[in-house]
Amino acid sequence: MSQTVQRALRIIELFAERPRSLGEIADDLGVHKSTASRLVQTLEHAGFARPVDGRYTIGFRMVAIAQHAVEQLDLHPVAHPHLVRLGDRYGHTVHLAQLVDDEIVYVTKVDGRGALRMRSRVGQPVDPHTSGVGKAILAHLDEPARERFLGRLTYPRHTETSITGPAEFRAELARIAERGWAEDDGEFEDFVSCVAVPVRDARGRVVGAVSITALRALAPLERLREHLPELTATCAAISRDLGWTGEDRP
């Protein structure tokens, strides 16, 4: 890959985090400010960057391309109306995550009525050992695929309840596979919990998972578990729309 392309891609990654000044871009790339300016101007001309209050951020063309890419994922258009209904019913944030190549990525986020804005965003990879959707997907993969995935995990500790080792995580995945749902008990952010259920495709493979997420102060884990019947029914409906003809509980 050419150095210019590498630098342009890095600038787009920087913009995706937050607006940046030319000085910040130059420092990150290790180049003169004039070089950073030429790169940003090229991106701006193509619609991939735009100026905001003396800084630069993601351009609208880039936003449109990202949205189009998300919509190409089979799960998104099928699942979205189901997720909106679920969010409206309980007022919590609903996430849809999908297994994409070697990552589990948020592909839809629906903020229900009264839900507070959370840091998660569409396109963001999840931390599998501390997320309900990550656990729900991994627990239902076939063993070779699951082991390949587990072999790449490093198990960083984010909170006091984080799982921090492979043996503990495998035991948790076995429990999830048996009962059919997963949870995050403040394991990534200690003030957030969720419950999650997997989604299957026409061949019966688990390809994603849906979670109901809330601040623990508003809805502790015990209360979120009360929503599992409706969440399970929603995931079963999405799975049927994808062509799954198996039992009602995915």
User: In the prediction, which pLDDT does 62 show?
Assistant: 83
> Domain locations in the chain?
3-66, 73-241
User: In the prediction, which pLDDT does 77 show?
Assistant: 82
CA distance 138 to 145: 9
DSSP state, residue 115: P
Please give the CATH topology (third level) of the domain spanning 3-66: Arc Repressor Mutant, subunit A (1.10.10)
Q: Of 113, 133, 137, whose CA–CA distance to 193 is shortest? A: 133
- What integer is the mean pLDDT of 103-114? 80
Quick check: do 3-66 and 73-241 share a fold? no
The CATH class, in words, for 73-241 is alpha beta
- What integer is the mean pLDDT of 176-183? 95
CA distance 10 to 62: 14
Q: Of 140, 144, 139, 90, whose CA–CA distance to 112 is shortest? A: 90
For 111, the token pair is: 């903020």
- Classified as helix, coil or strand, 26 is helix
Are 194 and 159 within 8 A, CB to CB? Answer: no
Residue 68: Cβ within 10 Å count: 9
pLDDT grade for 218, boundaries at 50, 70 and 90: confident
- Classified as helix, coil or strand, 227 is coil
- Classified as helix, coil or strand, 173 is helix
pLDDT 10s digits, 29-66: 999 999 999 999 999 999 989 999 889 998 888 877 77
Residue 131: Cβ within 10 Å count: 28
CA distance 71 to 63: 12
